[in-house]
Structure 1
Amino acid sequence: KLAALNYPNNIAIYFKPKEEKYSYRELLISSLKIASALKALGVKKGDPVALNSKNCSEFIIAMWACIKLGAVLVPINYLLKKHEVFHIFNDCGDIKTAIVHEKNLKLYKRSSKELGIEKIVLIREDKNVEKEIKIADDVELIFFHELLNSYEPLVEKISINMKEDLFCLLYTGGTTGLPKGVMLTHFNVISDINQLLHIGAEFSEEAVEKNIGKLSFVNVLPLCHSFGVISTLTYTSAACQLIVYDSFDIPSILETIEMYKVENFAGVPTMY
């Protein structure tokens, strides 16, 4: 919210594959609209909301919407197989609402009853293409972009106990076994953000203050992973421009790094 108040016209999200941009004002308003929509769909503070999507602008909007509503975000890796997704739903508990990218819808169309889902909020690959989507009769299908157009921003301020209330359940299993849910409170996430912002001697309090609203960061790692979640929250909290990719497009990434004078890039060893 402070980023939107202090830097309303700065670019918050630049989703490079679609050349799609959201300013900080637009990100705040969009996230509050989705928070309002989720509330109208029956999601309450403390309720888990599954988010199964590849990298896209809607992922970040939905993430912030869950924070505003006090819902527990449950990011699900879009590459997981059916039995792994089933495990997460069974382990997590009573997930009634899932935000799903169109590319992952196939699994939910077949298994929504077994998963116990009542509502699916669908992120369309192309919002301008209309095609009929069939799904189980007992599941309500809602389009993400229609919610943005239909709801006013959430006005109610949800009371959050920073040290007790969960922000998210991150499922991680490394390379062995089924994923295990890691509980992160809002306080845990704030601590992570502060540590990332002040890592190293060059990131003193004065240096952080000086660079707020001025830096760009390239994010190609999956947003559903712990690093993706925390880095996204960190750099948007610092009013940076977050340039997001949904694949490791090396020529485009190198061009972007040069064009925007990117000083921060997170990757796994094989990328380097």
Structure 2
Amino acid sequence: MLNLSSLLEHSAQEYPERTALVLGDTRLTYAELLSRSQDIADALRGLGVGKGDKVALSCPNVPDFPAAYFGILRAGAVVVPLNVLLRPQEVAYHLTDSRAKALLCFEGTPQLPLAETGKAGFDQAPDCEHFLLLHRIEHTSSGSAEPAETVATEAEDTAVILYTSGTTGRPKGAELTHRNMAMNAMVADRLFTAGQDEVMLASLPLFHAFGQSAVMNMGLLRGATLVLQPRFDAEEALRLMHREGVTFFAGVPTMYWALLGALGALDEQAPPAHLRTAVSGGAALPVEVLRQFGKVFGVGVQEGYGLSETSPVACFNPPGLPPRPGSIGRPVWGVQMKLIDDSWQAVPGEGPGEIAIRGHNIMKGYYRRPEDTATVVRDGWFRTGDIARRDADGYYYIVDRVKDLIIRGGFNVYPREIEEVLITHPAVSMAAVVGVPHATHGEDVKAFVIPAPGAQLSEEELIAWCRERMAAYKYPRSVEFRDSLPLTSTGKILKRELTAEAGGGAGPA
């Protein structure tokens, strides 16, 4: 028997009165967090949710997220975390594709009306049976009561389905097992030395693989205090670091860039005194940002690499050694990496080649998509779609991406998904979407559009239309209208040429 909820259960037994979560003036101990997760598990059981059922979770970084996450697991169900920026039709797609039996939803705010959005998506997914607002789940458990027995699950049972995407552009659910997730939290934990006073700032979205494994799960495993930040703001993050004595921060490169810029705006311009560990992932960290952060904050940034399909941590700059600028490090414990060509054959020497990964962190597969799974997994090896080289010491360096994936501010944006929405506009005949360089987000989204004959449409009108139908990180920030698009001899759009014309250089074919 192995259930990922044991991460919280063990720490609640070992450190019941230690502070687990901080949000403003709210402080929950490990015993209180465990009790709240029991309430949610009991509520789900009362609705007939049981082992193997899928339960979607739409919630920002507030105490309800870990409570619901571990409550779902305690009930023996599978967590399907949803990006809180999804629009109703996108919520409906995820509920339908995952065959979710229930949707647990945070009430939200006027700026982020999750209950309204979630209910609208739920109404478009007729097979999803239950919609629950987290704040309405009655608190019945007592911290001193004997905990309800956790449903027994096996190591290879699915614990979490994280939605990603690939060549089709349609989001696919990566099935991650209890073993995948528990081992990844343990591996992340052993990467860093920590004292009993570890305080971790949770600015990364907990619905994202990085924030989930390398912050929430790892932090609760080690009995740390998690300081929750519902939405990243650099000045507020620095205030929290000062006020709460934060010792650990994990973020994507744009967060580090923003922290550097925000430091001078604070009344207290000194860097946080307690910070001792800084971790970067999600996208390549610019070397200059790494250097500046180390100089200003006095803390070296340790860079790593992973994907949703790898739970996600796969590679990391070893702690205790100076980080190698531009490198994602070496494979973590229990994980192997190699470079391969298009035929899955190993590439010798430094490469370049496509990264392939094998180990305890590799997903079970894409949910209900065996053909897509077979495309990327062979003999236990997962091919990532990322091109890299490696040095003589086994450190890897990302060179480029095989696919047309755009990474905007640490979020994956999939061009075809946007294109399929664009061409539903009556004034759009054809569209191609590419990534273009952006000073702070790494990349931004640009659309090349062929208008329908006789149609009148402005760039501002089309962007506004997209904004209503897509999550905030997806919609195009610029649109260029054209009479034609460059094509191959077989009629495929040459996105490499569009990327080069837009200032992004020659991308992969």
Q: Decide which of 97, 103, 106 is 1:101's aligned counterpart.
A: 106
Cα 1:87–1:218 shift into 2, 3 Å:
same
Deviation at 1:83, TM superposition (A): 3.0
2:105/2:131 contact within 8 Å kept: yes
Matching residue's letter, 1:216: V
Q: Specify the SS of the correspondent of 1:178.
A: coil
Q: Which has the higher helix share?
A: 1
CA distance in 2, matches of 1:153, 1:250: 42
CA contact (8 A) 2:165 2:171 kept: yes
Match of 1:257 in 2: 241
| Aligned partners of 1:216 and 1:262 also within 8 Å | yes
Matching of residue 14 in structure 1 with residue 22 in structure 2: yes
**What SS does the aligned partner of 2:22 have?**
strand
Deviations 1:89-142 (A, max 9, x none): 22212x221101222222343343431232211135xxxxxxxxxxxxxxxxxx
Mapped pair 1:237 → 2:248: no
Contact 2:103 2:132 in 1 (8 A): yes
Matching of residue 159 in structure 1 with residue 152 in structure 2? yes
Match of 1:52 in 2: 58
Q: 1:106 to 1:153 in 2, by over 3 A?
A: farther
List per-residue Cα deviations over 1:17-68 (Å, max 9, x = no partner). Answer: xx21110010111111211111111110110001012221111100111121
CA distance in 2, matches of 1:45, 1:195: 27
| Bigger fraction of residues in strand | 2
2:132 is aligned to 121
In structure 2, the partner of 1:131 is none
C-alpha distance in structure 2 between counterparts of 1:249 and 1:107, whole Å: 23
**Where does the alignment leave 5 or more consecutive residues of structure 1 unmatched?**
125-142
Q: Classify the secondary structure of the residue corresponding to 2:21.
A: strand
Cα deviation for residue 176 of structure 1 reads: 8.8
Q: Distance in 2 between matches of 1:120 and 1:195?
A: 35
1:217 aligns with 2:213: no
Aligned to 1:188: 180
Specify the code of the residue in structure 2 equivalent to 1:155: A
Structure 2 unaligned residues grouped into runs of 5+: 1-8, 108-112, 257-509
Cα displacement (A) at 1:148: 1.8
Match of 1:129 in 2: none
Report percent identity of matched pairs.
Answer: 33
Other structure's SS at 1:96 match = strand
SS in 1 for 2:104: strand
Is residue 36–residue 153 contact of structure 1 (8 Å, CA) maintained in 2? no
Match of 1:34 in 2: 40
1:107 maps to amino acid: T
RMSD: 2.2
Higher relative contact order (CA 8 A, sep 6+): 1
State the number of aligned residues: 239
| CA distance in 1: counterparts of 2:88 and 2:123, whole angstroms | 14
- In structure 2, what is the equivalent of residue 137 of structure 1? none
d(CA) in 2 for partners of 1:150 and 1:237? 22
Q: TM-score when scaled to structure 2?
A: 0.44
Contact 1:33/1:153 (8 A) holds in 2: no
Distance 1:112 1:254 in 2: 37
Change in CA separation of 1:81 and 1:263 when aligned onto 2, cut-off 3 Å: same
